[in-house]
């Protein structure tokens, strides 16, 4: 099992979600976050006043999938979230030792 | 096993009997739909089983015959056992008999469980029931509804005596206070409203729990629940709860969408005869809400008569000057007694009452409420529409507690009387997974949320919250935003098209009846039409230039953008308490800021080409049959902003003004308004026109709030100024309005001297500004291919526009387009300038900057 964490543009959430559901991914956790990578922030002027836009709104997705699904899920996210511009986001993948369903104590991939 | 009377008490037989008789009760309910009969029948059935089981115990142990009683409490005590309700049994001992009865109590309880009942047995001594304990308030309240089932009648008599003489007499205040506290807590859990899309018919405001609370309060004061609408409501709710228990096969009282459909199909609670095919679910839900309102109303009146307050909102201490026909006393609005004429039948008085309610949050006393409710037909006959009604409605909408007043008006039918368009969304359920409230309640929550922005956000508030608060405070005419909010979803009550378009269509009738100023009416309509645009833009990339440009194309003016930002904030918030996260709110503010920055950037570049098939051009031309070619020539070359922000009727008027140039080359239209007035000059372009208008208005002491100056390809200019009348000259002297227009015309035409008029004016002492704004001037040569954009941000003081436009004229710069705006004490003015038909060069920009800074400073002195 692997955990995929993806930070994407908020406007791409629906497309990414649909792509993952299409693939058969059953569970996704979504966070509303702010941050910056290479995109960094910038300064805006509003009606004569200066405002720093240093942290940009992003959506972070977390999903844990079985080994055979990992690459497909990554490709689905990339395809749905890519615009080719700076700020498209990042994907991080890490190993998961165990998954447990609280309701019935099921363990392993069956608990996903 | 059998009782002495020969009735069986073995578990198998009793279970079979219970199931058989429960089946019969259900069949009866399915046939006659009478919930009250069903719950009484189940109570009687359980009474019988409990009695038999206890009798069997007493037969086996004669010592149990004395000193113990078995009583029903809570809902069972009221003989209202819904199909899946718990059974609250009290085994009450005179003194120490309970210990001896322990095994018997266990066996009785076990037998009832084995029959399939959820039993909650409690064992107490009489002495343990004579005090109301806050630590176990639920038990104390359940004791109020007690009923003997079996056992020693003397013990029950003693229990009754102790509860009446000790608990109810001594602890009555504590009981009442606890009832208030529990009810407030429960109502708060449901957002203090009964208008939920999927209500819990037991616990929601207006539900059966409220009916119980009402009953307890009546009991504590020694009276019984009154009949009428309350009785009808309880009958309806009882039938519905029975239906839900049978449907869900458990004590689940949530009236979800599927249950609503099924209840409507069976016409549950709607008459004794089930209608073939049932009724429309929307109709059935309205019946539910009507009954829930009746329960809530009865409860509120009972609270009032006990001197209790359910609402946690404090009544604001506001001085109500010059009110007639009513008074504010002890936090209640009370109509004067009827004399020759009952004040309840006078629209002016009644609207003034609701205006006072909107200001203070005070509610009507019960009698006044009933009088107004009964007087609706006379009010309907006496109500006059027009500007007077709009003034009253605007005062209600902008009152800090507008939500309290609007809900009360809606409940009494007064809101529907003024705005019949609102009737279509009365208690309307729209099945949307994200929404929590009915459409009418959602509308009121939008208005509450907007008023919530008026409160001090506190020192730790995020930037977006502070900015939204000041945006609301700085609106020139907030009544327009609130009116748009009130009407924005009325289209949901109509089948068919897009609800924003339908709502705008319906609003046209309202605006016509209120005889609103054309500019204000157009703003309200555009706000309603575009009320979903910003939410839609938020789902896209708000930092993407195309997204922002598309959004800006729909909004067009700063005034609409501000209102739309505020509206969108409130509209999302009113969907569900958790719908607007701080993340989303900040994105909203960022989008507003990006759009504002983009708004004035391409105005000079995007021009009308009348040969196209733009829908707006078609609408204007349709108003000018027989003059279409001339009208197309008129439209050619105006900035698109002009076409997009002016209603077709206003553009027609401007066109017709051009046809009178032979009689008068300086055509002026003037519209006097209560808060802002508008003057428009239509003439052939010539130097210093804009400066002349600004100077003329300054000479009359008028404070320009917004202004727009546009020219078409043929050199016809349309310069519009919206201004406030600082000295109320035109408001107090209607005869001066004609002189004002003539004077402005003379001043613009150069027939009179502005300087002479200005020198004759005494300038009043200016108050110190609350916010100090530093003058900032920026130039942008990229916004237009042939003109230079200049943005001036400065302290808004009277005469500012004149000072700037005179400076521009003096330096020989031509104003191609002007967009003048005010935000609180900040003036934000955008000019597209040319010099000799070209963009300004660096030297000219530098010279202009210095001259303007000096002129602005001089004007402010």
**Cβ-nearest to B596 among A9, A47, A53:** A47
**Cβ-nearest to A32 among B540, B581, B828:** B581
Q: How far apart are CA B62 and CA B42, in angstroms?
A: 29
pLDDT of A48 over the 70 cut: no
Which residues from B are below 8 Å from A56, CB to CB? 543
Task: Check: CB of residue B561 under 8 Å from CB of residue B607.
Answer: no
Task: Check: CB of residue B530 under 8 Å from CB of residue B555.
Answer: yes
**What is the nearest CA distance from B588 to chain A, expressed in angstroms?**
11
Which residues from A are below 8 Å from B583, CB to CB? 32-34, 57
End-to-end CA distance of chain A: 9
Which residues from B are below 8 Å from A11, CB to CB? 539-541, 544
Q: Please give the residue range of the domain that contains residue A53.
A: 2-111
Q: What is the mean predicted confidence (pLDDT) over B337-348?
A: 89
H-run or E-run covering B681? strand B677-684
What residues of chain A, 58 to 77, have a C-beta less than 8 Å from chain B?
none
Task: Check: CB of residue B671 under 8 Å from CB of residue B519.
Answer: yes
Which residues from B are below 8 Å from A33, CB to CB? 583
pLDDT at position A44, please?
Answer: 65
Which residue from A minimizes the CA distance to B537? A11
Q: How far apart are CA B401 and CA B121, in angstroms?
A: 47
**What is the nearest CA distance from A63 to chain B, expressed in angstroms?**
22
Burial environment of residue B455 by CB neighbours within 10 A (0 to 12, 13 to 18, 19 or more): exposed
Residues with Cβ within 8 Å of B82's Cβ and at least 6 positions away in sequence, in order, are B39, B42, B75, B238, B241, B242, B245, B251
Task: Check: CB of residue B220 under 8 Å from CB of residue B210.
Answer: no
Closest CA relative to residue B239, chosen from B35, B25, B32: B35
**Cβ-nearest to B593 among A14, A33, A51:** A51
Which residue from A minimizes the CA distance to B823? A47
Structural tokens at position B836: 């000799």
Which residues of chain B approach chain A closer than 8 Å at the C-beta?
Answer: 463, 539-544, 581, 583-584, 586-587, 590, 593-594, 596-597, 773-774, 776, 791, 793, 823, 826, 828
**What is the nearest CA distance from A93 to chain B, expressed in angstroms?**
25
Structural tokens at position B762: 């005494």
* Cβ contact, residue pair A51, B539, below 8 Å: no
Q: What is the mean predicted confidence (pLDDT) over B96-105?
A: 85
Q: How far apart are CA B832 and CA B704, in angstroms?
A: 19
Task: Name the more confident of B754 and B823.
Answer: B823
- Identify the bridge partners of residue B221 per DSSP, sorted by sequence position: none
Closest CA relative to residue B681, chosen from B645, B656, B646, B657: B657
Q: Which SS3 state, helix, strand or coil, does residue B685 take?
A: coil
Task: Report percent pLDDT > 70 for chain B.
Answer: 96
pLDDT at position B291, please?
Answer: 94
Q: 């027609």: which residue's tokens?
A: B652
Q: What is the mean predicted confidence (pLDDT) over A65-76?
A: 95
Which residue from A minimizes the CA distance to B821? A47
Task: Check: CB of residue B155 under 8 Å from CB of residue B126.
Answer: yes
User: Which site among B467, B535, B538, B543 would you substitute to test the A interface, given the most A Cβ atoms closer than 10 Å to its Cβ?
Assistant: B543
Residues with Cβ within 8 Å of B779's Cβ and at least 6 positions away in sequence, in order, are B788, B789, B790, B840, B845, B849
pLDDT of B137 over the 80 cut: yes
pLDDT at position B427, please?
Answer: 87
**What is the nearest CA distance from A47 to chain B, expressed in angstroms?**
7
A47 touches chain B (CB under 8 A): yes
Which residue from A minimizes the CA distance to B775? A48
* Cβ contact, residue pair A56, B543, below 8 Å: yes
Q: How far apart are CA A73 and CA A4, in angstroms?
A: 8
As a residue count, chain B comes to 861
SS (H, E, C) B518-573: HHHHHHHHHHHHCCCHHHHHHCCCCCCHHHHHHHHHHHCCHHHHHHHHHHHHHHHH
A55 touches chain B (CB under 8 A): no
pLDDT of B796 over the 80 cut: yes
Q: How far apart are CA B448 and CA B361, in angstroms?
A: 12
A51 touches chain B (CB under 8 A): yes
- What is the DSSP secondary structure assignment for residue A47, as one 8-state letter? T
Q: How far apart are CA A112 and CA A1, in angstroms?
A: 9
- What is the DSSP secondary structure assignment for residue B164, as one 8-state letter? I
- What is the DSSP secondary structure assignment for residue B88, as one 8-state letter? E
- Residue B170 — very low, low, confident or very high, per pLDDT cuts 50/70/90? confident
* Cβ contact, residue pair B541, A11, below 8 Å: yes
**Cβ-nearest to B793 among A9, A33, A48:** A48
Here the contacts of B131-134 (C-beta below 8 Å, separation 24 or greater) are B131/B166, B131/B167, B131/B171, B132/B167, B132/B171, B132/B174, B132/B175, B132/B178, B134/B174, B134/B178
Which pairing describes strands B332-335 and B363-364: parallel, antiparallel, or unpaired? parallel
* Cβ contact, residue pair A32, B539, below 8 Å: no
**Cβ-nearest to B539 among A11, A34, A87:** A11
Q: Which SS3 state, helix, strand or coil, does residue B119 take?
A: strand
pLDDT at position B75, please?
Answer: 94
Q: No. of H helices and E strands in chain A?
A: 2, 6
Which residues from B are below 8 Å from A45, CB to CB? 597
pLDDT at position B494, please?
Answer: 83
Which region, left, alpha or beta, applies to residue B696 given φ > 0 means left and ψ of -120 to 50 means alpha? alpha
- Order of strands, edge to edge, in the sheet holding B68-72? B119-125, B87-93, B68-72, B147-151
Which residues from A are below 8 Å from B541, CB to CB? 9-11
Q: Which ipTM score applies to this complex? A: 0.80
Which residues from B are below 8 Å from A9, CB to CB? 541
**What is the nearest CA distance from A33 to chain B, expressed in angstroms?**
7
Residues with Cβ within 8 Å of B276's Cβ and at least 6 positions away in sequence, in order, are none
Least confident of B160-174, B351-365, B472-486: B160-174
- Residue B811 — very low, low, confident or very high, per pLDDT cuts 50/70/90? very high
Q: How far apart are CA B762 and CA B752, in angstroms?
A: 19
* Cβ contact, residue pair B590, A48, below 8 Å: no
Which residue from A minimizes the CA distance to B581? A32
Instruction: Read off φ and ψ for residue B152, nearest 5 degrees.
Output: -85, 110
Q: How far apart are CA B329 and CA B356, in angstroms?
A: 12
- Identify the bridge partners of residue B123 per DSSP, sorted by sequence position: B91
Task: Check: CB of residue B192 under 8 Å from CB of residue B205.
Answer: yes
End-to-end CA distance of chain B: 105
Structural tokens at position B624: 């000018």
User: Which site among A47, A49, A54, A82 would you substitute to test the B interface, given the most B Cβ atoms closer than 10 Å to its Cβ?
Assistant: A47
Structural tokens at position B377: 């037909």
Q: How far apart are CA B569 and CA B740, in angstroms?
A: 41
Q: How far apart are CA B442 and CA B407, in angstroms?
A: 11
Query: Considering chain B, what is the average pLDDT of its residues?
Result: 89
Q: How far apart are CA B803 and CA B796, in angstroms?
A: 12
Task: Report percent pLDDT > 90 for chain B.
Answer: 56
Q: How far apart are CA B782 and CA B407, in angstroms?
A: 52
pLDDT at position B474, please?
Answer: 86
Structural tokens at position B485: 């909010």
Domains and CATH numbers, chain B: 11-170 (3.30.460), 191-305 (no CATH), 442-599 (no CATH), 615-760+770-860 (no CATH)
Query: Considering chain A, what is the average pLDDT of its residues?
Result: 88
* Cβ contact, residue pair A48, B828, below 8 Å: yes
Q: Which SS3 state, helix, strand or coil, does residue B835 take?
A: strand
pLDDT tens by residue, B594-637: 898 888 887 888 888 877 677 888 889 999 998 989 999 999 99
Q: Which SS3 state, helix, strand or coil, does residue A58 take?
A: strand
* Cβ contact, residue pair A10, B596, below 8 Å: no
A27 touches chain B (CB under 8 A): no
Cβ neighbours around B726 below 10 Å, total: 12
- What is the DSSP secondary structure assignment for residue B196, as one 8-state letter? B
Task: Check: CB of residue B236 under 8 Å from CB of residue B255.
Answer: no
Residues with Cβ within 8 Å of B437's Cβ and at least 6 positions away in sequence, in order, are B191, B193, B195, B196, B197, B445, B574
Which residues from A are below 8 Å from B581, CB to CB? 32
Structural tokens at position B702: 């008028």
CATH number for the domain harbouring residue A79? 3.30.70.120
pLDDT at position B634, please?
Answer: 94
Closest CA relative to residue B336, chosen from B325, B346, B344: B325
Q: Which residues of B48-77 are buried (b: 16+ CB within 10 A; e: fewer)?
A: bbbbbbbbbbbeeeeebeebbbbbbbbbbb
Tell me how far apart the 2 most distant CA atoms of chain A are, in Å: 60
CB pairs under 8 A between A and B: 44
- Residue B412 — very low, low, confident or very high, per pLDDT cuts 50/70/90? very high
Which pairing describes strands B702-711 and B814-823: parallel, antiparallel, or unpaired? antiparallel
**pTM > 0.90:** no
**What is the nearest CA distance from B747 to chain A, expressed in angstroms?**
32
CA–CA distance from B658 to each of B315, B637, B708 (Å)? 55, 15, 18
pLDDT tens by residue, B418-446: 999 999 998 888 877 778 899 999 999 99
* Cβ contact, residue pair B828, A47, below 8 Å: yes
Q: How far apart are CA B61 and CA B101, in angstroms?
A: 9
Which region, left, alpha or beta, applies to residue B39 given φ > 0 means left and ψ of -120 to 50 means alpha? alpha
pLDDT tens by residue, B492-539: 988 777 899 999 999 999 999 999 988 899 999 999 999 999 999 988
pLDDT tens by residue, B731-781: 888 888 999 999 999 888 888 777 777 665 555 555 666 678 889 999 988
H-run or E-run covering A34? strand A29-35
**Cβ-nearest to B596 among A46, A53, A56:** A46
* Cβ contact, residue pair B541, A10, below 8 Å: yes
Radius of gyration of chain A (CA): 17
Q: How far apart are CA B400 and CA B322, in angstroms?
A: 20
Q: How far apart are CA B834 and CA B827, in angstroms?
A: 22
Domain count, chain A: 1
Q: How far apart are CA B83 and CA B271, in angstroms?
A: 21
């Amino acid at each position: 099992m692997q955990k995929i964490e993806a930070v994407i543009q908020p406007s791409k959430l629906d497309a990414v979600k649909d792509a993952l559901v299409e693939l058969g991914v059953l569970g996704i956790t979504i966070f509303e976050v702010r941050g910056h990578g290479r995109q960094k922030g910038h300064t805006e002027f509003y009606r004569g006043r200066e405002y720093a836009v240093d942290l940009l709104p992003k959506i972070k997705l977390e999903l844990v999938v079985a080994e055979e699904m990992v690459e497909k899920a990554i490709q689905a996210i990339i395809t749905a979230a890519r615009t080719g511009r700076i700020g498209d986001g990042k994907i991080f993948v890490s190993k998961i030792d165990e998954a447990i369903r609280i309701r019935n104590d099921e363990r392993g991939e069956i608990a996903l | 096993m059998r009782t002495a009377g020969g009735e069986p008490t073995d578990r198998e037989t009793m279970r079979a009997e219970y199931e058989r008789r429960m089946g019969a009760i259900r069949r009866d309910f399915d046939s006659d739909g009478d919930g009250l009969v069903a719950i009484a029948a189940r109570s009687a059935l359980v009474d019988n089983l409990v009695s038999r089981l206890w009798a069997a115990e007493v037969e086996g142990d004669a010592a149990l015959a004395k000193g113990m009683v078995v009583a029903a409490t809570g809902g069972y005590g009221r003989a209202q056992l819904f199909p899946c309700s718990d059974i609250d049994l009290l085994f009450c001992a005179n003194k120490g008999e309970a210990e001896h009865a322990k095994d018997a109590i266990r066996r009785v309880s076990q037998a009832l469980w084995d029959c399939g009942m959820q039993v909650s047995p409690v064992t107490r001594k009489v002495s343990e029931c004579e005090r109301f304990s806050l630590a176990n308030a639920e038990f104390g309240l359940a004791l109020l509804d007690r009923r003997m089932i079996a056992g020693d009648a003397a013990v029950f008599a003693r229990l009754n005596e102790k509860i009446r003489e000790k608990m109810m007499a001594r602890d009555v205040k504590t009981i009442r206070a606890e009832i208030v506290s529990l009810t407030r807590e429960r109502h708060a859990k449901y957002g203090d409203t009964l208008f939920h899309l999927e209500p819990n018919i037991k616990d929601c405001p207006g539900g059966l729990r409220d009916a119980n609370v009402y009953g307890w309060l009546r009991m504590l004061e020694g009276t019984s629940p009154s009949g009428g609408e309350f009785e009808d409501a309880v009958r309806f709710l009882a039938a519905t709860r029975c239906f839900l228990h049978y449907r869900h096969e458990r004590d689940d009282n949530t009236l979800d969408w599927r249950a609503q459909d099924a209840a409507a199909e069976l016409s549950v609670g709607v008459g004794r005869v089930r209608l073939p095919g049932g009724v429309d679910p929307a109709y059935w839900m309205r019946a539910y809400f009507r009954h829930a309102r009746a329960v809530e109303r009865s409860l509120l009146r009972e609270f009032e008569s006990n001197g209790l307050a359910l609402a946690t909102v404090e009544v604001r201490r506001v001085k109500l000057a010059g009110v007639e026909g009513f008074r504010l006393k002890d936090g209640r609005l009370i109509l004067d007694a009827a004399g020759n004429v009952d004040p309840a039948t006078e629209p002016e008085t009644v609207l003034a009452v609701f205006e006072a309610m909107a200001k203070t949050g005070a509610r009507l006393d019960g009698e006044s409420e009933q009088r107004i409710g009964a007087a609706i037909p006379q009010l309907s006959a006496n109500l006059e529409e027009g500007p007077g009604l709009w003034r009253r409605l605007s005062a209600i909408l902008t009152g800090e507690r507008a939500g309290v007043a609007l809900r009360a008006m809606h409940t009494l039918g007064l809101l529907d009387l003024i705005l019949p368009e609102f009737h279509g969304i009365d208690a309307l359920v729209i099945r949307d997974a994200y929404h929590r409230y009915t459409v009418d309640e959602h509308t009121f929550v939008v208005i509450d949320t907007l008023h919530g922005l008026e409160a001090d956000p506190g020192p730790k508030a995020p930037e977006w919250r502070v900015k939204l608060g000041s945006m609301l405070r700085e609106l020139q005419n907030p009544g327009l935003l609130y009116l748009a909010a009130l009407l924005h979803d009325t289209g949901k009550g109509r089948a068919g098209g897009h609800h924003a378009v339908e709502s705008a269509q319906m609003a046209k009738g309202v605006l016509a009846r209120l005889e609103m100023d054309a500019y204000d009416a157009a703003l309200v309509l555009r706000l309603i039409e575009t009320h979903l645009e910003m939410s839609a833009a938020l789902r896209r990339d708000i930092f993407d230039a195309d997204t922002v440009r598309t959004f800006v194309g729909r909004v067009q003016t700063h005034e609409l953008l501000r209102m739309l930002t505020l509206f969108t904030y409130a509209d999302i918030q009113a969907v569900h308490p958790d719908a607007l996260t701080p993340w989303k709110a900040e994105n909203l503010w960022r989008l507003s800021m990006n759009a504002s920055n983009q708004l004035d950037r391409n105005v000079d570049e995007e021009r009308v080409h009348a040969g196209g098939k733009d829908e707006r051009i078609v609408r204007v031309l349709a108003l000018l049959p027989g003059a279409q070619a001339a009208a197309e020539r008129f439209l050619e070359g105006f900035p698109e902003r002009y076409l997009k922000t002016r209603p077709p009727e206003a553009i027609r008027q401007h066109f017709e003004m051009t046809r009178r140039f032979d009689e008068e080359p300086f055509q002026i239209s003037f519209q006097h308004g209560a808060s802002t007035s508008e003057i428009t000059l239509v003439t052939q372009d010539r130097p210093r026109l804009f400066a002349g208008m600004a100077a003329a208005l300054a000479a009359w002491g008028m404070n320009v709030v917004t202004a727009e100056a546009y020219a078409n390809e043929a050199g016809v200019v349309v310069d519009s100024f919206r201004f406030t009348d600082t000295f109320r000259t035109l408001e107090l002297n209607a005869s001066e309005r004609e002189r004002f227009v003539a004077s402005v015309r003379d001043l613009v035409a150069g027939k009179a001297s502005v300087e002479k008029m200005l020198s004759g004016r005494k300038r009043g002492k200016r108050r110190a500004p609350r916010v100090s704004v530093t003058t900032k001037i920026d130039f942008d040569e990229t916004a237009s291919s042939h003109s230079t954009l200049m943005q001036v941000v400065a302290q808004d003081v009277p005469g500012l526009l004149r000072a700037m436009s005179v400076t521009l004229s003096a330096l020989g710069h031509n104003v191609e387009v002007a967009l003048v705006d005010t935000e609180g004490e900040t003036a934000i003015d955008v000019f597209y300038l040319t010099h000799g038909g070209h963009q300004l060069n660096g030297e000219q920009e530098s010279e202009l900057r210095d001259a303007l800074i000096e002129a602005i400073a001089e004007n402010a002195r």
